[in-house]
């Protein structure tokens, strides 16, 4: 029978012990086990054995993959198990991903091995053989008090990504961050990080945290928004009409919206893109908001938000599909609810859904936006939107006029051909059946020629 990952981990520990070594669970696997959270990613640290001895053990258990030969890091193909040798790190640059010299030392000892960890709750170790927990830096007490605290004020600032990790763990675990850790993070330069590392943290937060707002609130408290998220930082203090937004300024609304979006992301076609769209949806309010006759307005913030969202995304990624999705959602995010309120025609809804890169996700964003303003009673709005979307999907599933149909009628590709396809698509949105749509399209072209 195929053994489970924990069973394989126990075999690794037994084999290590037989060769004079000792294997320990480390990091998040220990932390989450104490907290009571499921964690299928097993991290093991083997002390007292060389890389060659460790590799020999692992090769008997499966396909051993060396992920960092110089770092003493291995894993087994098909297993969620990472195996490492104890090591120390020394910063050689300004905090980039590769600006460290790594020294593998199987005999460094448990305390020194744990000292390289970022937070006390991640510095815990558990002996795989007997279950004994080693806590050199107060991690158990910090778990009891639900606190994120750094291990070393000397080594912690060497990797600025730890600022984001502190905020991510706070969001993931619903912990607070120790004051001394916040103060240390305030002095760390995030500009040396790569966009890939920032996006990696964002993806983790947006897909695994119930309250992603905690991540951004933490960054704001640490003055960590300025370099990577200046457009988001500008939302703080931007007033909103209290009639529609009793929750407060645009920052508070955005934070509530991403928390509401987190409840809906499992339904989204593109969960990570969807969460980014929720983050960016009101960025335009920082430049569109004005007070007219004592009333606060943000006319055109959806359109003006495209430039703001574009700048933020350009800083983080080159992924065209992601940018297209987010900018499309930012541009359209107000329209679904507005059309319902205006009792708009079917034609307006069909056109809206046709413009959307993901009509389903657009409805979800509209719901998150609505609920992020402390407003209730969205069920009726959502019901109507889903009825309209169902009708749109029905019309899109019907046979429709294609280029091959026009060619069969004697047309050739060109400006007139494209014009005909555009007209046929309008008929498709209107629910006109294919044969009738083809006849109307050909009639439209004859009429155009006659009056051209």
- 293-322 average pLDDT score: 95
Query: Which of these, 298, 420, 270, 414, lies nearest to 356 by C-alpha position?
Result: 270
Last residue of a domain, one of 397, 416, 440: 397
Task: Specify whether 216 is located in the same domain as 350.
Answer: no
Residue 150 lies in a domain: no
Q: For tokens 């007490």, name the residue.
A: 141
- 26-30 average pLDDT score: 96
Last residue of a domain, one of 379, 397, 415: 397
Rounded CA Rg of the chain: 28
Contact yes or no for 327/224 (Cβ under 8 A): no
- 338-345 average pLDDT score: 96
Residue 234 lies in a domain: yes
User: How confident is residue 94, by pLDDT bands cut at 50, 70 and 90?
Assistant: low
- 6-24 average pLDDT score: 96
Tokens linked to 137: 């830096």
Of the listed ranges 51-65, 250-264, 344-358, the one predicted with least confidence: 51-65
**Rounded to 5 degrees, what are φ and ψ at 102?**
-110, 135
- DSSP lists the bridge partners of residue 23 as 46
Last residue of a domain, one of 195, 221, 247: 221
Checking if the pLDDT of 30 tops 70, the result is yes
pLDDT at 215: 98
Task: Specify whether 293 is located in the same domain as 207.
Answer: no
User: How confident is residue 413, by pLDDT bands cut at 50, 70 and 90?
Assistant: confident
Tokens linked to 337: 């609810």
CA quadruple 354, 360, 362, 367: dihedral sign: positive
Number of compact structural domains in the chain: 4
- 382-403 average pLDDT score: 96
Residue 155 lies in a domain: no
The residue segments making up the domain with residue 217 are: 160-221
pLDDT at 252: 96
Checking if the pLDDT of 121 tops 70, the result is yes
pLDDT at 209: 96
Task: Specify whether 208 is located in the same domain as 107.
Answer: no
Residue 97 lies in a domain: yes
Could you give the CA distance from residue 33 to residue 177 in angstroms, rounded to a whole number?
A: 21
Burial of residue 443 (number of CB atoms within 10 Å: 0-12, 13-18, 19+):
exposed
| Alpha-helix runs per DSSP H in 174-249 | 179-186, 195-208, 213-221, 230-233
- 200-212 average pLDDT score: 97
Q: For tokens 């999907």, name the residue.
A: 393
**Rounded to 5 degrees, what are φ and ψ at 177?**
-105, 130
- 23-45 average pLDDT score: 95
């Amino acid at each position: 029978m195929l053994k489970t990952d924990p069973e394989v981990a126990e075999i690794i520990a037994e084999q290590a012990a037989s060769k004079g070594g000792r294997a320990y669970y480390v990091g998040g696997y220990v932390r989450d086990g104490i907290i009571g959270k499921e964690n299928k990613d097993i991290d093991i640290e083997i002390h007292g054995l060389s890389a060659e001895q460790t590799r020999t053990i692992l090769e008997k258990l499966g396909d051993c993959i060396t992920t960092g030969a110089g770092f003493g890091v291995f894993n087994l193909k098909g297993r969620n198990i990472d195996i490492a040798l104890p090591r120390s790190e020394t910063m050689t640059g300004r905090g980039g991903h590769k600006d460290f010299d790594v020294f593998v030392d199987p005999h460094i000892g448990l305390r020194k091995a744990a000292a390289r960890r970022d937070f006390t709750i991640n510095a815990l170790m558990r002996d795989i053989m007997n279950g004994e927990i080693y806590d050199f830096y107060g991690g158990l007490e910090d778990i009891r008090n639900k606190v994120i605290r750094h291990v070393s004020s000397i080594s912690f600032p060497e990797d600025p990504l730890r600022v984001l990790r502190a905020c991510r763990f706070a969001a993931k675990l619903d912990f607070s961050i120790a004051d001394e850790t916040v103060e240390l993070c305030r002095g760390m330069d995030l500009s040396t990080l790569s966009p890939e590392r920032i996006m990696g943290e964002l993806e983790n937060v947006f897909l695994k945290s119930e309250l992603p707002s905690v991540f951004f609130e933490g960054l704001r408290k640490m003055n960590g928004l300025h370099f990577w998220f200046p457009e988001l930082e500008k939302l703080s203090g931007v007033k909103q009409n209290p009639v529609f937004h009793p929750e407060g300024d645009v920052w508070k609304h955005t934070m509530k919206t991403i928390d509401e979006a987190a409840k809906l992301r499992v339904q989204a076609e593109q969960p990570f893109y969807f969460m980014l769209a929720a983050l960016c949806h009101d960025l335009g309010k920082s430049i569109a908001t004005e007070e007219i006759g004592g009333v606060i307005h943000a006319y055109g913030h959806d359109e003006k938000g495209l430039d703001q969202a574009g700048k933020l995304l350009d800083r983080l990624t080159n992924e065209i599909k992601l940018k297209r999705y987010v900018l499309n959602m930012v541009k359209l995010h107000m329209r679904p609810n507005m059309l319902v309120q205006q009792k708009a025609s079917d034609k307006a809804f069909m056109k809206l859904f046709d413009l959307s890169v993901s009509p389903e996700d657009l409805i979800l964003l509209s719901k998150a936006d609505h609920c992020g303003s402390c407003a209730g009673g969205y069920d009726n709005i959502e019901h109507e939107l889903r009825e309209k979307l169902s009708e749109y999907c029905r019309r899109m599933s019907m046979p429709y006029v294609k280029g091959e149909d026009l060619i069969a009628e004697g047309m050739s590709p060109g400006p007139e051909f494209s014009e005909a396809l555009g007209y046929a698509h309008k008929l498709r949105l209107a629910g006109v059946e294919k044969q009738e749509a083809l006849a109307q399209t050909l009639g439209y072209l004859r009429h155009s020629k006659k009056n051209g």
